[in-house]
Structure 1
């Protein structure tokens, strides 16, 4: 099975890791990584997004051990439009988070218009942080949590010890 998923992945966190695990459990993986022009447009909150090259290097480091674990291959490709690579005929499944299901359905509408079979949409639940809220890149960038969902010392009510 050929599996697609996409995103900005800045920074990569445990919620992303859950998406990657699910994708590799299904087949070979192609990740559409938002290019430098699209990345700011996909943000729900305006914030700095690192360059495509920096994000791709971090993503590759995250994907390599998973590809080895599942004996799968992977590819990282630039994503220049929201529907991206998933409208290409070679894909069988699309792994998404709950907030991107509507986009996945839109992709299947486009595939239908092009005479392609719909993708199997695999939804992976959010990974909660220690406070029960979902882990997100924005929460990490603002210093609220780390990539594993641990609250930062100033958010737990405890003083940082030196």
Structure 2
């Protein structure tokens, strides 16, 4: 088996209405990292996005997806950056194009603290049947399902 490229990889999000884009993000983190830190926005922090599933439900959904793995930690995020700005063991972060700006900000903070910047791995958005990105917002609105199938025109 090939050695993983990174010792500890971070990935974070709300992970509401878990969908194919979320699955790809997490799969990528496991592909490249020996250990994976998955940050899930808390109810208070995630609530700024609107009506979302409770954090415990979102964390339980993630645990179900990765239950056959042992090399991960699930953590609640109370703000944008979580442990990525303090944990020197983290050496990479996996993001989507819409969250890449947060990773850049994390690296600015890390550099100000004299820490090594994270390698940023940006994956593409997963598209729905209509060619638009799959998103939790679209799923909540009833436009698409979790794999991007159109529900209503």
- Same fold, TM-score > 0.5, yes or no: yes
| TM-score normalised according to structure 2 size | 0.90
The answer on whether the counterparts of 1:20 and 1:63 sit within 8 Å (CA) in structure 2 is no
Q: Measure, in 1, the Cα distance between the counterparts of 2:112 and 2:99.
A: 20
Distance of 2:66 and 2:133 partners within structure 1: 22
Runs (4+) off by over 2 Å: none
TM-score, normalised with respect to structure 1: 0.86
> CA shift at 1:63, angstroms?
2.2
Residues 5-64 of structure 1: CA deviation (Å, up to 9, x unaligned): 1110011100011101110001111111001110022x2xxx311111111101111222
Larger Rg over CA atoms: 1
Question: In structure 2, how many angstroms separate the alpha carbons of the residues matched to 1:64 and 1:26?
Answer: 18
Structure 1 residues 83-122: aligned runs within 5 Å: 83-87=81-85, 88-122=87-121
Partner of 1:52: 55
Structure 1 partner of 2:3: none
How many aligned positions are there?
A: 145
Question: Going by fraction, where is helix more abundant, 1 or 2?
Answer: 1
| Distance in 1 (alpha carbons) for counterparts of 2:135 and 2:79 | 22
Structure 2 gaps, min length 5: 1-6
Match of 1:147 in 2: 146
